[in-house]
Structure 1
Amino acid sequence: MVGMTESKGSSQGNSTASMPDWEKRFRAPRTGLPRWAEDAPDRSLFTSNATGTFELYAWDRATGTRRQVTDRPNGTTGGVLSPDGEWIWWFSDTDGDEFGVWVRQPFHGGPDEPAAPGLAPAYPDGLALGRDGTAVIGRSTDKGGSSVHVVRPGAEPVEIYRHEQSAGVGDLSHDGSLVAIEHTEHGDAMHSAIRVVRLDGTTVSELDDSEGGTRELGLSVMGFAPMDGDNRLLVGHQRRGRWEPMLWDAVTGEETHLAVDLPGDLDADWFPDGTALLIDHNFHARSELWRYDLADGELTRLETPQGTVSGALARPDGTVEFLWSSAAEPPVVRSTAGHVVLETPATPHGIDRAPSSVPVTDVWVDGPGGKVHALVQKPAGEGPFPTVFDIHGGPTWHDSDAFAAGPAAWVDHGFAVVRVNYRGSTGYGRAWTDALKHRVGLIELEDIAAVREWAVASGLADPRQLVLSGGSWGGYLTLLGLGTQPDAWAVGLAAVPVADYVTAYHDEMEALKALDRTLLGGTPEEVPERFAASSPLTYVDQVRAPVYISAGVNDPRCPIRQVENYVARLERRGHPHEVYRYDAGHGSLVVEERIKQLRLEIAFAQRHLPRAAAAGAASPRA
């Protein structure tokens, strides 16, 4: 066994000329979608890896000035601009443990200061900033449940909401008089209700599609109308079997349903003048943008390339900025006006753009619960190939036709990569997502097995060279799959996994406990047989494939103790495995650390798959 603890991966000292493409993709400059102050749209905030660690950056569009806002060993991504653009709020945790406090810094620079004095550290559950300096802060702790506090300048925080079930701040109305709270008081953590309250905590209205938990329909807050005196809240609902928007007047209760005739899930946001909605349409692992005019219901498609839009915002001039990529082409922030919005200078390695990769092809396979959609990338040449089944996390998430440096690296090394949107994934309708109940983990693995059988039968995958891999929930499914399907996999690579479900439940953050109770129908004490059936630890003695595990020692989502329990059982058996422990939380924001982890995974697979090692050595892009 290998056991290591480090805070950052060390640079390998490669020159750009000798650096392989797969490493360039990680080290290439990346920026997130710039988000601007509502009342000062020339002031923006974005994330970038320009220094080798993802941090927050301020951008004054009027002057072109950019500056780095945060600088922490393990990176920073959680930041919000005040409506007037004067302050940058960012969340300060400890080494990636997600437990901390909000601090703020002047837009043009200056010392950080506590943003909400009087509030003890907690997990963040939403933040909304008002035009008069008021802040509404959602938070949760392991013992105190969820709470919402109002913080006014110079005053002590006032608690306006508390419940043992998970809840969070959705939005604050434009005039600062109403707060929308998403909550799960009915006990179903997968389907939220919405309560609108005044700043003193008194209830204005309630919207709940769950019917006390008997009907599994959820709601989401998309945002209040961007005008004073307009109490309409843009709400996501699932009443017709998918996510779509409607308007709800939080004072009168009037609902306005929108005629958006598109087949997939719909997300939405307001145009700044309140006359139209920006619709983000997700369907079959790809997305596109539309404008919906509220006056006449006209729906107009906005020109975007085929691929995935990872975020979009409408500017005051009516243009839309969006972050786009495809599996073959790296991400870029574009505008519907036809230009690139934001480019990051070359990194210290001299890389100004990530090398492209190969496109994905779509596969639909008959599974036990219906058609299963998978995305496939493969190297040049004829199969069968050594094949990595790269399983996404979430579980309520989905793989899409978007740029991902990890899968591209495996392709460079001669592997085919298959990504499966199993039952529980989003983007295929409510029934597909909600199918993940009680037989947790086993359901997803049935769908993965169906795609695996197709991959072998089609000649894509060599059945002797199958790698099961994933992070977070994907890491959990990897360990569970190695134990419940021991003859199917040659190697397992699990990053930040759930390994011992019972211990993970007792050690994880409270919001995830609520999710586990929803998925499994109770606590480990109430439904022990379900936790046992869904726990990788139950099947550890059946594992045959060599196992590689990486874990963050400060991870609040998949805590380290339960990983160590699983590792101890492997050690007791003398089973071949390696463990890499790093000083961060649920993953890393440090580029070199990400490269190091993938390098270790590839090397582990190559050692245990001799044919794959030969293919990687022969690959001209490796």
Structure 2
Amino acid sequence: PTQLSKGVGSRFLSPDWVPDGDYIVVSRAAPRRGLEKLWLYHVDGGTGLEMVGGPGGMRLMGPAIDSEGRYVWHSQRNGTWSYNAILPQYQLWVYDRQTGTRTPMTDRYGSAFRPTLSPDGVWLAYGSRHDADTGIRLRRLDSGEEHWLAHPVQRDDQESTANMDVLPGYSFTPESDALVISYGGGIWRVPVDGSDPSEIPFTVNARVAVGPEVSFEYPIEDTPTFIVKQIRNARPSPDGSRIVFTALDRLYTATLPDGVPERLTDEEIGEFEPIWSPDGSSVAYVTWDDDAGDGHIKRVSADGGSPSTVTTAPAYYQQLAWSPDGDRIVAIRSSRRNVQEAIDPFIGLGLDAEFVWVPSGGGDLTVIGPTGGRQQPHFTSDPDRIYSYGRSRADPVVGSPADGPTTLALVSTRWDNTDVKQHLRVTARIDVSAGSVADGYQLSETSDLVMPQEFDEDGEARELIPERSAGLVLMAPQGD
């Protein structure tokens, strides 16, 4: 073998030949230069040339060059790894050697990594994850259409440091009609036409130490009935005699204090965030149907039965509030794609969230206005004002050129989202005794105040007390 690289302390991953056979591109982490970048080495050796660089914390791995030698595909992420990692961790990018530009080419929730290209330039294969299993995606480059070629394969290394790349290497056959890849303890030829993979036989002499089998029995209750360990969105009725809640994504009611829970509907879709009508005769709630990919606001008798759909258009509805006169239901609405295209479970209110209202008996929806960082709409006994909590900017003082300050506060508005009134802001000092203090300040030796390290010229100390706002503040139903 011939040594191509020079230097001490570098880390190299996933080399690939440039089509002319004179160069090799490889992921290299050079000492004191951050994480892996793409380097080019001549087959005769040398110091190498950084072909694709970037900030020290950006990681470029698994280069694959097209048959013309112009485009370099690679996976990219920020940092080496993250604790309690949430997908996605990697995505595919392309570097154009002719123009020097880089372009993102994937946006998959399961990540995208370890690309390889077919010799005829038709196919791109890369690793990704679906649910808990890793697989290989196959994309036709001229149309962008893609599908799973092999799933599942060997588990990827996304949650760890991937110090040998995220997935073992694999390659197309010279005819570009199949992928040769190892998984499941064997080497396989996987045809691109979707026909069954065939195992490539091989033998190896090895001595492998095998420890004792570790096996435990965990009893799983499979009786017709069982105790639910978690309920959500519990709401007492206006007279306090009953409670409605969600369990196992279905609505239940029970008489307080020890009544037997009963289903409110017989529908097989997700039922969430129930609220009572002011007179306690009905329950409104939001739904989400994974199969249809949509949600609605529905209403059902408090005694159960067939629900009616209040909304006419599907969306992602949340956080209902029934006006005290019983005429309208307020909700937060955002588009369905917030759920359908979510890359993680932390959707929040949605990117286009807005307050809306709909007649409690059903009908067309009316937009109140953007949530603007506010949430939890609710009422007192006054049907003319809608209360909410969150980021708020008070209306400016008449005659003043400046806008009101932005803060977290309990606010109320009219039904057209105007006349914003801030009612209450709740804050607390942050305990800095066990943590750090901002640069330029220090904890006072005689009090719990954070003081500047340097005083003003007149000797006055500019007191800085770090504060945090309350997570949620609500009005009592009667407004008292």
Give the TM-score category using the shorter length. 0.3 to 0.5
In the superposition, the TM-score normalised over structure 1's length comes to 0.27
* Larger RCO of the pair (alpha carbons < 8 Å, separation 6+): 1
TM-score normalised by the chain length of structure 2: 0.35
Would you tell me which structure has more helix in proportion to its own residues?
Answer: 1
User: 1 or 2, which has the higher strand percentage?
Assistant: 2
